[in-house]
Amino acid sequence: MAELNDGMIERLRSAARRFDEIERELGNPSGSFDQARFTALSKERATLEPTVAAFRRRERLHVEMDEAEALARSAGDPELRALADEEIASLRERLSALDAELQELMLPRDPDDDRDVFIEIRGGAGGDEAAIFAGDLARMYMRYAESHRMKVELLSESASDAGGYKEIVFSIKGAGAYRRFKYESGVHRVQRVPQTESQGRIHTSTATVAVLPQIDDDVTVEIRPSDLQIDTYKSSGAGGQYVNKTESAIRITHLPTGIVVASQQERSQIQNREKAMQMLRSTLYERKRREQEEALGSIRRSQVGTGDRSEKIRTYNFPQDRVTDHRVNENFGNLRGLLDGDMDRLVDALLQDERARLLAGSEARVPNASER
Protein backbone atom coordinates (compact mmCIF):
# COMPACT_ATOMS: atom_id res chain seq x y z
CA MET A 1 0.00 0.00 0.00
CA ALA A 2 1.23 3.48 -0.88
CA GLU A 3 2.52 5.90 1.73
CA LEU A 4 0.33 8.76 2.87
CA ASN A 5 0.51 11.74 0.54
CA ASP A 6 0.86 15.37 1.62
CA GLY A 7 -2.87 16.02 1.37
CA MET A 8 -3.69 13.10 3.67
CA ILE A 9 -1.07 14.18 6.19
CA GLU A 10 -2.45 17.73 6.27
CA ARG A 11 -5.97 16.38 6.87
CA LEU A 12 -4.62 14.24 9.70
CA ARG A 13 -2.91 17.24 11.27
CA SER A 14 -6.15 19.19 11.04
CA ALA A 15 -8.00 16.30 12.70
CA ALA A 16 -5.42 16.23 15.51
CA ARG A 17 -5.86 19.97 16.10
CA ARG A 18 -9.64 19.55 16.20
CA PHE A 19 -9.30 16.63 18.62
CA ASP A 20 -7.24 18.83 20.98
CA GLU A 21 -9.84 21.61 20.75
CA ILE A 22 -12.60 19.19 21.74
CA GLU A 23 -10.51 17.86 24.62
CA ARG A 24 -10.05 21.39 25.96
CA GLU A 25 -13.72 22.26 25.62
CA LEU A 26 -14.88 19.06 27.30
CA GLY A 27 -12.38 19.57 30.10
CA ASN A 28 -13.23 23.24 30.68
CA PRO A 29 -16.84 23.92 29.71
CA SER A 30 -17.79 27.58 29.72
CA GLY A 31 -21.11 28.95 30.93
CA SER A 32 -24.08 26.74 31.77
CA PHE A 33 -23.94 23.05 30.92
CA ASP A 34 -25.34 22.24 27.48
CA GLN A 35 -26.20 18.53 27.29
CA ALA A 36 -26.79 18.55 23.53
CA ARG A 37 -23.42 20.17 22.81
CA PHE A 38 -21.65 17.88 25.28
CA THR A 39 -23.14 14.85 23.54
CA ALA A 40 -22.20 16.15 20.08
CA LEU A 41 -18.62 16.91 21.13
CA SER A 42 -18.25 13.53 22.83
CA LYS A 43 -19.49 11.83 19.67
CA GLU A 44 -17.08 13.80 17.49
CA ARG A 45 -14.21 13.02 19.86
CA ALA A 46 -14.99 9.29 19.69
CA THR A 47 -15.03 9.49 15.90
CA LEU A 48 -11.63 11.20 15.69
CA GLU A 49 -9.81 9.37 18.49
CA PRO A 50 -8.70 6.16 16.68
CA THR A 51 -7.40 8.11 13.68
CA VAL A 52 -5.61 10.76 15.75
CA ALA A 53 -4.06 8.14 18.05
CA ALA A 54 -2.67 6.24 15.04
CA PHE A 55 -1.39 9.46 13.48
CA ARG A 56 0.46 10.42 16.65
CA ARG A 57 2.03 6.97 16.85
CA ARG A 58 3.21 7.60 13.30
CA GLU A 59 4.71 10.97 14.26
CA ARG A 60 6.62 9.38 17.16
CA LEU A 61 7.96 6.69 14.85
CA HIS A 62 9.21 9.37 12.45
CA VAL A 63 11.12 11.01 15.29
CA GLU A 64 12.67 7.65 16.15
CA MET A 65 13.48 7.12 12.47
CA ASP A 66 15.30 10.50 12.26
CA GLU A 67 17.33 9.61 15.37
CA ALA A 68 18.23 6.16 14.04
CA GLU A 69 19.28 7.55 10.64
CA ALA A 70 21.41 10.23 12.32
CA LEU A 71 23.10 7.54 14.43
CA ALA A 72 23.77 5.39 11.35
CA ARG A 73 25.40 8.33 9.56
CA SER A 74 27.61 9.33 12.50
CA ALA A 75 28.52 5.91 13.88
CA GLY A 76 32.19 5.08 13.38
CA ASP A 77 31.81 1.57 14.80
CA PRO A 78 30.59 -0.86 12.09
CA GLU A 79 28.74 -2.94 14.70
CA LEU A 80 26.87 0.13 15.98
CA ARG A 81 26.04 1.16 12.42
CA ALA A 82 24.65 -2.32 11.72
CA LEU A 83 22.42 -2.08 14.81
CA ALA A 84 21.16 1.31 13.66
CA ASP A 85 20.42 -0.10 10.18
CA GLU A 86 18.41 -2.93 11.78
CA GLU A 87 16.45 -0.38 13.80
CA ILE A 88 15.76 1.66 10.66
CA ALA A 89 14.44 -1.41 8.83
CA SER A 90 12.17 -2.26 11.76
CA LEU A 91 10.86 1.30 11.97
CA ARG A 92 10.15 1.39 8.23
CA GLU A 93 8.10 -1.78 8.55
CA ARG A 94 6.12 -0.34 11.45
CA LEU A 95 5.57 2.93 9.58
CA SER A 96 4.30 1.05 6.54
CA ALA A 97 1.80 -0.81 8.74
CA LEU A 98 0.67 2.44 10.34
CA ASP A 99 0.19 4.09 6.95
CA ALA A 100 -2.02 1.19 5.90
CA GLU A 101 -3.99 1.45 9.15
CA LEU A 102 -4.44 5.21 8.70
CA GLN A 103 -5.61 4.87 5.11
CA GLU A 104 -8.24 2.43 6.29
CA LEU A 105 -9.27 4.67 9.19
CA MET A 106 -9.68 7.56 6.74
CA LEU A 107 -12.10 5.65 4.52
CA PRO A 108 -15.69 6.96 4.45
CA ARG A 109 -17.89 5.10 6.91
CA ASP A 110 -21.50 4.13 6.56
CA PRO A 111 -23.25 6.70 8.78
CA ASP A 112 -25.61 4.00 10.03
CA ASP A 113 -22.94 1.50 11.11
CA ASP A 114 -23.39 2.12 14.84
CA ARG A 115 -27.19 2.04 14.82
CA ASP A 116 -29.32 -0.70 16.31
CA VAL A 117 -31.25 -2.79 13.78
CA PHE A 118 -34.57 -4.39 12.97
CA ILE A 119 -34.32 -7.77 11.27
CA GLU A 120 -37.28 -9.14 9.33
CA ILE A 121 -37.17 -12.73 8.03
CA ARG A 122 -39.78 -14.35 5.78
CA GLY A 123 -40.04 -17.83 4.36
CA GLY A 124 -39.68 -17.70 0.57
CA ALA A 125 -39.88 -20.47 -2.01
CA GLY A 126 -40.17 -23.97 -0.60
CA GLY A 127 -43.31 -24.14 1.56
CA ASP A 128 -42.86 -25.62 5.03
CA GLU A 129 -39.13 -26.10 4.57
CA ALA A 130 -38.74 -22.38 3.78
CA ALA A 131 -40.46 -21.52 7.08
CA ILE A 132 -38.18 -23.92 8.96
CA PHE A 133 -35.16 -22.33 7.30
CA ALA A 134 -36.44 -18.86 8.27
CA GLY A 135 -36.44 -20.12 11.86
CA ASP A 136 -32.87 -21.38 11.47
CA LEU A 137 -31.73 -17.95 10.25
CA ALA A 138 -33.50 -16.18 13.12
CA ARG A 139 -31.78 -18.45 15.63
CA MET A 140 -28.41 -17.89 13.92
CA TYR A 141 -28.72 -14.10 14.15
CA MET A 142 -29.95 -14.16 17.73
CA ARG A 143 -27.08 -16.34 18.88
CA TYR A 144 -24.54 -14.26 16.97
CA ALA A 145 -25.91 -11.10 18.55
CA GLU A 146 -25.75 -12.63 22.02
CA SER A 147 -22.15 -13.73 21.43
CA HIS A 148 -21.34 -10.04 20.86
CA ARG A 149 -23.28 -9.02 23.98
CA MET A 150 -26.07 -7.44 21.99
CA LYS A 151 -29.68 -7.42 23.19
CA VAL A 152 -32.36 -9.21 21.15
CA GLU A 153 -36.02 -8.22 21.41
CA LEU A 154 -38.82 -10.05 19.58
CA LEU A 155 -41.37 -7.72 17.95
CA SER A 156 -43.71 -9.98 16.02
CA GLU A 157 -43.90 -13.53 14.73
CA SER A 158 -46.11 -15.70 12.59
CA ALA A 159 -45.26 -19.31 13.37
CA SER A 160 -45.55 -22.13 10.85
CA ASP A 161 -47.40 -25.32 11.79
CA ALA A 162 -44.42 -27.33 10.50
CA GLY A 163 -41.95 -25.35 12.62
CA GLY A 164 -40.05 -22.14 12.06
CA TYR A 165 -41.75 -18.96 10.92
CA LYS A 166 -43.73 -17.64 8.02
CA GLU A 167 -42.45 -14.27 9.24
CA ILE A 168 -40.51 -13.04 12.26
CA VAL A 169 -39.35 -9.54 13.20
CA PHE A 170 -36.96 -8.71 16.03
CA SER A 171 -34.61 -5.92 17.03
CA ILE A 172 -30.93 -6.13 17.94
CA LYS A 173 -29.38 -3.43 20.10
CA GLY A 174 -25.65 -3.03 20.66
CA ALA A 175 -22.49 -1.32 19.50
CA GLY A 176 -21.98 -1.70 15.75
CA ALA A 177 -25.14 -3.74 15.23
CA TYR A 178 -25.88 -2.43 11.73
CA ARG A 179 -22.24 -2.75 10.72
CA ARG A 180 -22.30 -6.44 11.61
CA PHE A 181 -25.73 -7.32 10.23
CA LYS A 182 -26.22 -5.07 7.19
CA TYR A 183 -24.76 -7.65 4.79
CA GLU A 184 -27.52 -10.12 5.67
CA SER A 185 -30.20 -8.33 3.63
CA GLY A 186 -31.14 -10.47 0.67
CA VAL A 187 -32.25 -13.94 -0.34
CA HIS A 188 -30.71 -16.91 1.48
CA ARG A 189 -30.92 -20.34 -0.16
CA VAL A 190 -30.73 -23.71 1.60
CA GLN A 191 -30.09 -27.11 0.03
CA ARG A 192 -30.81 -30.09 2.28
CA VAL A 193 -33.05 -33.12 2.86
CA PRO A 194 -36.11 -31.88 4.77
CA GLN A 195 -37.33 -33.81 7.80
CA THR A 196 -40.59 -34.44 5.94
CA GLU A 197 -38.80 -36.00 2.91
CA SER A 198 -39.25 -39.78 3.03
CA GLN A 199 -37.09 -40.63 0.00
CA GLY A 200 -33.99 -38.64 1.00
CA ARG A 201 -34.18 -36.15 -1.84
CA ILE A 202 -32.42 -32.81 -1.53
CA HIS A 203 -34.75 -29.81 -1.67
CA THR A 204 -33.92 -26.17 -2.36
CA SER A 205 -35.74 -23.48 -0.39
CA THR A 206 -35.27 -19.79 0.31
CA ALA A 207 -35.90 -17.17 2.95
CA THR A 208 -35.65 -13.41 2.61
CA VAL A 209 -33.93 -11.18 5.16
CA ALA A 210 -34.28 -7.42 5.52
CA VAL A 211 -32.01 -5.49 7.91
CA LEU A 212 -33.06 -1.94 8.76
CA PRO A 213 -31.12 0.58 10.84
CA GLN A 214 -33.13 1.90 13.77
CA ILE A 215 -33.63 5.63 13.37
CA ASP A 216 -33.12 8.13 16.17
CA ASP A 217 -35.60 10.90 16.85
CA ASP A 218 -33.16 13.45 15.42
CA VAL A 219 -33.52 11.92 11.93
CA THR A 220 -36.45 13.47 10.05
CA VAL A 221 -38.81 10.99 8.40
CA GLU A 222 -42.11 12.53 7.31
CA ILE A 223 -45.13 10.40 8.24
CA ARG A 224 -48.58 11.95 7.98
CA PRO A 225 -51.28 10.51 10.27
CA SER A 226 -53.71 10.50 7.33
CA ASP A 227 -51.38 8.07 5.51
CA LEU A 228 -51.68 5.44 8.22
CA GLN A 229 -54.15 2.61 8.66
CA ILE A 230 -53.85 1.23 12.20
CA ASP A 231 -55.41 -2.10 13.14
CA THR A 232 -55.46 -3.93 16.46
CA TYR A 233 -55.61 -7.67 16.99
CA LYS A 234 -54.94 -10.30 19.62
CA SER A 235 -51.33 -11.32 20.08
CA SER A 236 -50.19 -14.85 19.30
CA GLY A 237 -47.28 -16.90 20.58
CA ALA A 238 -45.48 -16.78 23.93
CA GLY A 239 -46.48 -13.95 26.20
CA GLY A 240 -48.15 -15.23 29.33
CA GLN A 241 -51.63 -14.48 30.58
CA TYR A 242 -52.15 -11.40 28.39
CA VAL A 243 -51.74 -13.17 25.04
CA ASN A 244 -54.97 -13.77 23.07
CA LYS A 245 -57.07 -12.04 25.76
CA THR A 246 -56.71 -8.39 24.77
CA GLU A 247 -56.28 -6.72 21.40
CA SER A 248 -52.90 -5.27 22.32
CA ALA A 249 -51.11 -6.11 19.07
CA ILE A 250 -50.75 -3.32 16.51
CA ARG A 251 -50.51 -3.48 12.74
CA ILE A 252 -49.74 -0.26 10.83
CA THR A 253 -50.12 0.07 7.07
CA HIS A 254 -48.44 3.04 5.36
CA LEU A 255 -50.94 3.63 2.58
CA PRO A 256 -48.73 5.53 0.07
CA THR A 257 -46.11 2.77 -0.01
CA GLY A 258 -48.06 -0.28 1.12
CA ILE A 259 -45.48 -0.97 3.85
CA VAL A 260 -46.94 -3.01 6.72
CA VAL A 261 -45.32 -3.27 10.17
CA ALA A 262 -46.53 -4.94 13.34
CA SER A 263 -45.68 -5.35 17.00
CA GLN A 264 -47.33 -7.83 19.33
CA GLN A 265 -44.92 -8.65 22.13
CA GLU A 266 -45.67 -5.79 24.51
CA ARG A 267 -48.63 -5.92 26.91
CA SER A 268 -50.17 -2.59 25.92
CA GLN A 269 -51.33 -1.10 22.65
CA ILE A 270 -49.34 2.05 23.39
CA GLN A 271 -46.06 0.13 23.72
CA ASN A 272 -46.73 -1.95 20.61
CA ARG A 273 -47.74 1.14 18.65
CA GLU A 274 -44.51 2.87 19.63
CA LYS A 275 -42.45 -0.14 18.48
CA ALA A 276 -44.38 -0.41 15.22
CA MET A 277 -43.97 3.31 14.47
CA GLN A 278 -40.24 3.06 15.14
CA MET A 279 -39.99 0.21 12.66
CA LEU A 280 -42.06 2.11 10.08
CA ARG A 281 -39.74 5.11 10.36
CA SER A 282 -36.73 2.84 9.86
CA THR A 283 -38.32 1.15 6.84
CA LEU A 284 -39.13 4.49 5.19
CA TYR A 285 -35.66 5.80 5.99
CA GLU A 286 -34.00 2.77 4.39
CA ARG A 287 -36.26 3.05 1.36
CA LYS A 288 -35.31 6.71 0.90
CA ARG A 289 -31.62 5.95 1.35
CA ARG A 290 -31.77 3.16 -1.23
CA GLU A 291 -33.46 5.47 -3.73
CA GLN A 292 -30.77 8.10 -3.19
CA GLU A 293 -28.00 5.54 -3.67
CA GLU A 294 -29.57 4.23 -6.85
CA ALA A 295 -29.99 7.78 -8.16
CA LEU A 296 -26.26 8.29 -7.65
CA GLY A 297 -25.55 5.11 -9.59
CA SER A 298 -24.30 3.04 -6.65
CA ILE A 299 -25.09 -0.66 -6.62
CA ARG A 300 -26.74 -2.20 -3.57
CA ARG A 301 -25.55 -5.78 -3.52
CA SER A 302 -27.98 -6.88 -0.83
CA GLN A 303 -31.47 -6.36 -2.19
CA VAL A 304 -34.18 -8.55 -0.72
CA GLY A 305 -35.67 -9.30 -4.14
CA THR A 306 -38.73 -11.47 -4.70
CA GLY A 307 -37.65 -14.60 -2.88
CA ASP A 308 -37.24 -16.64 -6.04
CA ARG A 309 -34.64 -19.42 -5.90
CA SER A 310 -32.51 -17.76 -8.60
CA GLU A 311 -32.01 -14.59 -6.54
CA LYS A 312 -29.54 -15.29 -3.77
CA ILE A 313 -26.72 -13.77 -1.77
CA ARG A 314 -25.77 -16.94 0.08
CA THR A 315 -26.27 -20.70 -0.21
CA TYR A 316 -26.30 -23.13 2.74
CA ASN A 317 -25.44 -26.56 1.32
CA PHE A 318 -25.96 -29.26 3.97
CA PRO A 319 -24.79 -32.32 1.97
CA GLN A 320 -21.40 -30.65 1.37
CA ASP A 321 -21.25 -28.89 4.77
CA ARG A 322 -20.58 -25.64 2.95
CA VAL A 323 -21.82 -22.07 3.05
CA THR A 324 -21.13 -19.96 -0.05
CA ASP A 325 -21.44 -16.20 -0.02
CA HIS A 326 -21.91 -15.27 -3.66
CA ARG A 327 -20.96 -11.60 -3.25
CA VAL A 328 -17.39 -12.39 -2.23
CA ASN A 329 -17.35 -15.78 -4.00
CA GLU A 330 -16.01 -17.50 -0.90
CA ASN A 331 -16.86 -20.84 0.75
CA PHE A 332 -17.03 -21.52 4.49
CA GLY A 333 -17.12 -24.91 6.22
CA ASN A 334 -18.77 -25.97 9.49
CA LEU A 335 -22.27 -25.03 8.36
CA ARG A 336 -23.92 -26.16 11.60
CA GLY A 337 -21.49 -24.08 13.64
CA LEU A 338 -22.38 -21.05 11.56
CA LEU A 339 -26.10 -21.67 12.08
CA ASP A 340 -25.36 -21.86 15.80
CA GLY A 341 -24.16 -18.25 15.63
CA ASP A 342 -20.47 -18.65 14.76
CA MET A 343 -20.65 -15.98 12.04
CA ASP A 344 -17.50 -13.94 12.71
CA ARG A 345 -15.40 -15.43 9.89
CA LEU A 346 -18.17 -14.81 7.36
CA VAL A 347 -18.97 -11.28 8.53
CA ASP A 348 -15.26 -10.41 8.71
CA ALA A 349 -14.82 -11.53 5.08
CA LEU A 350 -17.64 -9.21 4.02
CA LEU A 351 -16.18 -6.34 6.04
CA GLN A 352 -12.78 -6.91 4.44
CA ASP A 353 -14.36 -6.97 0.98
CA GLU A 354 -16.03 -3.63 1.68
CA ARG A 355 -12.73 -2.14 2.87
CA ALA A 356 -10.90 -3.41 -0.21
CA ARG A 357 -13.49 -1.89 -2.56
CA LEU A 358 -13.40 1.43 -0.72
CA LEU A 359 -9.60 1.52 -0.83
CA ALA A 360 -9.67 0.77 -4.54
CA GLY A 361 -12.29 3.36 -5.39
CA SER A 362 -12.25 6.15 -2.82
CA GLU A 363 -9.85 8.88 -1.79
CA ALA A 364 -9.01 8.45 1.88
CA ARG A 365 -10.07 11.20 4.25
CA VAL A 366 -10.67 11.76 7.93
CA PRO A 367 -14.30 10.80 8.75
CA ASN A 368 -16.40 13.47 10.39
CA ALA A 369 -18.91 13.20 13.20
CA SER A 370 -21.91 12.88 10.87
CA GLU A 371 -20.57 9.52 9.73
CA ARG A 372 -21.13 7.91 13.08
Which amino acid makes up residue 194? P
Task: Write 50-54 long-range contacts (CB < 8 A, 24+).
Answer: 50/105, 51/12, 51/15, 51/102, 51/105, 51/106, 51/366, 51/367, 52/12, 52/15, 52/16, 52/19, 54/98, 54/101, 54/102, 54/105
Is 101 found in the same domain as 121? no
> What's the average model confidence in pLDDT over 326-342?
94
Which of the listed residues 63, 81, 106 is the one where a domain comes to its end? 106
* Amino acid making up residue 127: G
CB atoms near residue 121 (< 10 Å): 29
For residues 220 and 102, membership in a common domain is answered with no
CATH number at residue 12: 1.20.58
DSSP 156-197: EEEE-TTSSEEEEEEEEESTTHHHHHGGG-EEEEEEE--TT-
Contacts of 6 (CB under 8 A, 6+ apart): none
| Spatial distance between the Cα atoms of 324 and 346, rounded to a whole number of angstroms | 9
Output 164 or 236, whichever has higher pLDDT. 164
Once rounded to an integer, what is the mean pLDDT over residues 149-176? 91
Count the domains in the chain: 2
268 within some domain: yes
Q: Please tell me the pTM assigned to this model.
A: 0.67
Residues 126 and 86 in one domain: no
The closest alpha carbon to 116, from 224, 214, 206, belongs to: 214
Q: Is the pLDDT of residue 52 over 90?
A: yes
For the cut 90, the answer to whether the pLDDT of residue 246 exceeds it is: no
Judge whether 1 lies within some domain.
Answer: no
Residues 355 and 235 in one domain: yes
Any domain includes 226: yes
> Does one domain contain both 181 and 201?
yes
Q: For residues 7 and 119, give the distance between their C-alpha atoms in angstroms, rounded to a whole number.
A: 41
Domain limits at 138? Answer: 117-361
Phi and psi of 272, rounded to 5°? -65, -35
Is there a single domain that holds both residue 264 and residue 318? Answer: yes
- Is residue 209 in a domain? yes
Specify if 32 maps to a domain.
yes
| Mean pLDDT value across residues 292-316 | 57
Residues 71 and 136 in one domain: no
Please answer whether residues 207 and 185 qualify as being in contact, where contact means their C-beta atoms are separated by less than 8 angstroms.
Answer: no
Q: Inform me whether the pLDDT recorded for 304 exceeds 50.
A: no
**Same domain flag for 335 and 266:** yes
Residues 139, 99: one domain?
A: no
Computed over every residue of the chain, the mean pLDDT equals 83
pLDDT at 235 over 80: no
Is residue 102 located within the same domain as residue 122? no
Domain boundary among 82, 106, 130: 106
Convert the pLDDT of each residue in 254-263 to its tens digit: 998 888 888 8
Claim to verify: residue 192 and residue 89 sit in the same structural domain: no
> Do 157 and 61 have their domain in common?
no
Q: State the pLDDT at residue 293.
A: 60
Look at residue 294 and tell me whether its pLDDT is greater than 70: no
Confidence grade of residue 269 (pLDDT, cut at 50, 70, 90): confident
Among the candidates 106, 130, 163, a domain finishes at 106
